[in-house]
Structure 1
Amino acid sequence: MLTMIVADDEPYIRTSLIRVFNWQEEFGIEIIGEAADGQEAYDLCMELKPDILFTDIMMPLLGGLEVAGKLKEGNCPTKIIVISGAQDFSYAQNALKVNAEGYILKPVKLPELREVFQEVVTRIRQEQERQMNVEQLKKQLQDNIPLIREKFLRNWIAGMYRDEGELWEKIDYFHLPFKPGDVLTAGVLQLDDYRSAVDKFSEEHKQLLYFAIQNMIAECLEQPPGGICFVAGENEFILIFRPDEAASPGTAALSGLCAKITQSIQKYLRLDASIGIGRACTRMCEMEDSYKDALAALVYTFYTGHASILYIKDIQPSTETLQSTFFYKFHARLMNELKAGHTSEVLELLERLFDRLAAPKLQIGYVQSICAEIVFTSARTLYELDEDIEEVLEDRTTIMDALYRQTNISGLKAYMLSFFNELATYVEGKNTSKNSRTINRIRGIIQERYAQELSIARIADEVYLTPNYISLIFKKETGETLTDYITKVRISKAKELLQTTDLKVMEIAERVGYENPHYFSTVFKKTVGIHPLKYRSGK
């Protein structure tokens, strides 16, 4: 419902104007006041803020146009409709100057009055609707400010803004804690071994994890040198450090802040994280370069390992390669030792190789390609000697996946040592017609640990071979499977305990490595032919 005040110094005319229409029914207007002079009209408008003032142009104290002028100066939104008994054009001109919505001459004609009010009411409602839409849009904007801010930040580090002035406008709009003259530095935090760390989590758990990490970073950034953080992608948390008054970026203050962040994540989430730090930039449009530097620095966790803080300015990647003479001699000797089955010599050669690979911090892709070449050259060489080598080797794709999945040089080294230990041990066994040393070690492990949880996979880890390979050689050399041998040892110990002790069957089962006494009884009967209690009684 719109509101209106009627002002005229003649009571009769004022009453006539109030009664001339059913204002609410015809126009949706409620008359909330009336005034007998211009001052009263002005005071009521400033107090009640009506949508419309319907006023005579000539009134005591203040004329209708003077009231309109004062309301305009006071930023009062009331619309003015003026009634005038004078047909002087200058009055109409003055009415336009004060933005009067309508100018009606006396004597008032109802069709003309109706038309003016219909037009004014329509304009007011359209204006209100536009204002309502604007307010609604403003509210939606405010509700979405966090998302819009994140989008701006991601676009910023992606280099989408090259105009410094435009960037500062946006920085001010989003109330970011930076000011002209600041020297800013980008950092990137990533969880180490991310896939293995989060693969076990549900998507909801992952999102909670990201939220927790972002909160921890934000809390740490409240301390000098401080800054902001946001998520750029999966396992990519961006930090923009602002300078500290007492210490510039890149000093101990920044290192201490990064260490505090990684320590908090380790303490509360039991996860390791590393941070790469780019070069400082004096212009906001250079942030993309600092961000890319930070990502490049993170790559070198391959050499430094977990929970590293890496400055790009401290990293000087080598473009060197292994000397061709060294590699040629190494490769020739490795093939000879491998074909001879000299396991210890093969592993010693690989240790020396990795000393050379790690020392100058070669390009990571180059190191991985060197290892891949050695693996597949060795496989081809051994295949020429023994086609059964395929029983030991996994398929090419699996090997490549395992090799390139190593996220640091120590992991890559461990994989290569394990791979070649298995190859050399196989060849050694082939050359001596039996793998007596490995078999004896496996038997010793079983004899010693039969009462514990004992799986083929765990035994394989103990002898640095794969489960498939030890199962293969054990069966081949002894004529029985590893599982059968473990069962034989356990049942033999159980028979001994049944005959020499008064322990219950449940206790004996536990002592020989069976958690479930019913399963133990089943295995015992299947192996010996009778139930454990009957065996004890001699029946």
Structure 2
Amino acid sequence: MDKYTVLLVDDEEEVIQVIMKKINWEGLGFSVIGYANNGVKAFEMVEEFQPDVVMTDIKMPYMDGMELAGRIKEEFPATKLLIFTGFDEFEYAKEAVHLEVEEYILKPVNSLELTNVFTQLKIKLDQEISEKRNTEILQKYYMESLPLLQANFYSTLIEGRIMEGDLPKYIEDYQISLKGPFFCCVVIHTSSRQVPKNMNPVLLATSVQKQAMERLGGKWHPKYFSYLGNTVMIAQLKNENEVSDLTDECDRFCRYASRMIGAVVIIGVGQVCSDILELSQSYNGAREAVSYRAIYGACRAINIKEIAPSETGRAVTANDAELSELFKKIRIGSPQDVTEAVDKYMDRMSFPDKSLQYHHIAVMEMVSALYRFVSNNDLVVEEFSGDTRQLYSNLLDLEPEALRKWLLDISFLFRENLMNARSRSSKSFVFRAKEYIDNHYFEEELSLDSICDLLGVSNSYFSTIFKKETGQSFIGYLTSYRMEKAAHLLLETAEKSYMIAKSVGYADPNYFSYVFKRQFGVSPSKYRTEQEEK
């Protein structure tokens, strides 16, 4: 990493300007990405930019430096913290050792002292990055990963090849603890095409697996193993609703992996199950979710229950690789992909040396598989709503080219229906969220977490859909909505600002004034005066 990013936080802008000018940031290997004049704005910038270092004062409005440091350490533990403060707060600051602050610096800031601090911090950051990318450490870890017997058990489990009667013996012999009571399979896919320069793709995937074990452990009591080029995690949940938290945590990890080690990671989250032997269905769902990166993008977690609820646990069972590939392209491929998959299937189906009996069986299998696809995905298709025997009979009379055209047309129809269903689902989420804001904007507790709990989806999925549909983040939309309501109240009533603040969901009138000014460029009182004068 050539340069590390720094965020400066102080409510006195002149202090920040002095610090920015006194230090040769580029020479030290750092760049200042910006500054904030209060803790609330600073935390918003940390969420957006994830700086390597945050240097903050203690006394600030809305959220002081100690609370800011605590929240950063909780949600972004890799971020280094520096606190600079006045003499009378110095001992108080040093008592907060649990925040793992790198250094406490007394005001006024001395340029020599600050240069020394950042010099040492650069060395520490370089060592941490080097350790994560060190080829020898990764090679050793790769050779000393999960024991062979346990890895073989987990692989066999997700393949669905373990019989119920054999399960207790496997668990006892291999000393495996899967207490649940609920389970969820997670597939961590690391791109082998998009890798940092001079990095071996296998070692990069190993590094991702190691980082996942460190950052996604604990709460989920996970079991990790490698399978078909991916890392698979079996998470243990206390209840089914925890899958939304799991998805959000996986989503944060994808962004972390991209930033820290340059890996492009997609995580698929399968459906929750209460029986260990159902993990094979959860794995199929997680693997299917990874395929949806073509629609939802990379460097993120995708929960199959959120994007394709009707498909979970219903894997295609047709004994035909080409037909299974066609169904996959219908779900996530382009029109060209669908056409190529149809051609490939028809080539296999229409060999001239095949008997008429074989052709009849092949058409029957195709109709059965298509019917299952319609049923599994809750599609409404006229040709599959009646007697399938009549459809089968009609198709037998078609010449090869006509049969190919029929299959291509029906595949495009399936694809269009699925795309429309996803669009309707996305619009439904957004409509319900907007409707809820309209009826509850005055509640101080209204937040991204609360709306996601209400809708039963993860923060990451909802945020993606909401921004895609509205062009704004949920918090940005809620803030704008509240400010518009406040502006109307200022003009239509004689209420004091602090009462209006409370009526639009702000308990702190000072923070309300700060947000209002950021929205309209003037304070609430001045806004009222200016509008009345017009």
Same fold by TM-score, threshold 0.5 exceeded?
Answer: no
TM-score scaled by structure 1? 0.30
**Structure with bigger RCO (C-alpha 8 Å, 6+ apart):** 2
Which of structures 1 and 2 has the bigger CA Rg?
1
